[in-house]
């Protein structure tokens, strides 16, 4: 595929139709930001190899520095989708190889840059897939600051690195949350639990507002554990959601799960309006939120 020469300072793009997002946004003070609809990049984190960085080609904006695979968002494209697409186009990151952990947004009013931090779940080797990279490398967390970093990434790195240690977990007392929705759940407890589990599954992909969790950034994708008991144990288990079918009292299972997660250093939030249970999980290092806190974050009915 032929390559069009770029305008001065403009990232090179393959010839062919341009997306409307491939344009500069210019501030009144003269600063230019690439991406009419904002831009996004992926910080892929491998548990043994560190983070994936891109050595930017000399003719690119801040060429010669190291930063993230990323670029302009397309018209109508979500930031997470844009980051994953750009990482695939620039570094050959395979679909399904990473799982988002949290999202940070740099906002200058007229333009935003979204950093999607994602954990590598299927190891891969990056591949230079377009002319915007001199090289791609896995860099240890303690070595990142030794590189000449892109100014934007360099400014963000200390906060990003600090929050890599944070691992939020939500443990949901499904019976308690279901009981807060007056939809006739008492006539079909398994059916009501099924509806709630499918709604919870939505959060696995959509994430939870960082402010609601008391965390830094814009959005987090916590580990979600749903505990069901009694007749509700017959409810199907949605793919991608951890479901504990309590063999004993559901409260005991919740306390055990909270204690185990807290012992691993996870930031545990238990969703229940049961005051006694809230006190028990507080004693093992978890915080609690009422059912309404969760219900306000969930979508309505989710079809099968």
Domain boundaries, the chain: 24-163, 168-295
Kindly state the percentage of the chain with pLDDT values over 70: 93
Q: Please state the rounded mean pLDDT for residues 220-241.
A: 92
Whole-number pLDDT of residue 300: 64
Look up the CATH architecture of domain 168-295.
Answer: 3-Layer(aba) Sandwich (3.40)
Q: pLDDT band for position 303 (50/70/90)? A: very low
Instruction: Please tell me the CATH superfamily of domain 24-163, with its number.
Output: Nucleoside Triphosphate Pyrophosphohydrolase (3.90.79.10)
Which tens digits make up the pLDDT trace of 62-86?
889 999 999 999 999 999 999 999 9
Mean pLDDT estimate for the chain: 90
Q: pLDDT band for position 221 (50/70/90)? A: very high
Whole-number pLDDT of residue 79: 94
Q: Are strands 39-46 and 112-120 parallel, antiparallel or unpaired?
A: parallel
């Amino acid at each position: 595929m032929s390559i069009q020469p770029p305008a001065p300072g403009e990232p090179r793009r393959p010839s062919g139709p341009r997306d409307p997002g491939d344009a500069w946004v210019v501030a009144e003070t003269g600063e230019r930001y690439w991406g009419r609809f904002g831009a996004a990049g992926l910080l892929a984190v491998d548990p043994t190899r560190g983070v994936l960085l891109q050595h930017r080609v000399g003719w690119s904006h801040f060429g010669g520095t190291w930063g993230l695979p990323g670029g302009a968002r397309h018209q109508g494209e979500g930031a997470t989708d844009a980051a994953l697409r750009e990482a695939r186009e620039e570094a050959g990151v395979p679909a399904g190889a990473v799982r988002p952990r949290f999202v940070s947004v740099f906002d200058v009013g007229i333009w935003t840059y979204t950093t999607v931090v994602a954990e590598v779940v299927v190891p891969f080797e990056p591949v230079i897939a377009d002319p915007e990279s001199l090289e791609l490398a896995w860099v240890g967390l303690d070595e990142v600051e030794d590189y000449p970093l892109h100014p934007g990434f360099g400014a963000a790195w200390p906060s990003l690195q600090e929050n890599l240690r944070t691992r939020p977990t939500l443990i949901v007392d499904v019976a308690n949350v279901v009981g807060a929705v007056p939809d006739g759940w008492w006539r079909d407890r398994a059916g009501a639990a099924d509806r709630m589990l499918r709604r919870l599954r939505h959060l696995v992909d959509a994430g939870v507002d960082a402010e609601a969790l008391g965390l830094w950034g814009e959005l987090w994708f916590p580990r979600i554990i749903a505990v069901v008991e009694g007749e509700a144990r017959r409810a199907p288990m949605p793919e991608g959601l951890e479901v504990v079918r309590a063999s004993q009292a559901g409260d005991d299972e919740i306390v055990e799960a909270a204690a185990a997660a807290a012992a691993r250093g996870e930031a545990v939030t238990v969703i229940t309006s049961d005051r006694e249970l809230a006190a028990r999980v507080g004693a093992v290092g978890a915080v609690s939120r009422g059912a309404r806190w969760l219900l306000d974050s969930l979508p309505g009915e989710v079809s099968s």
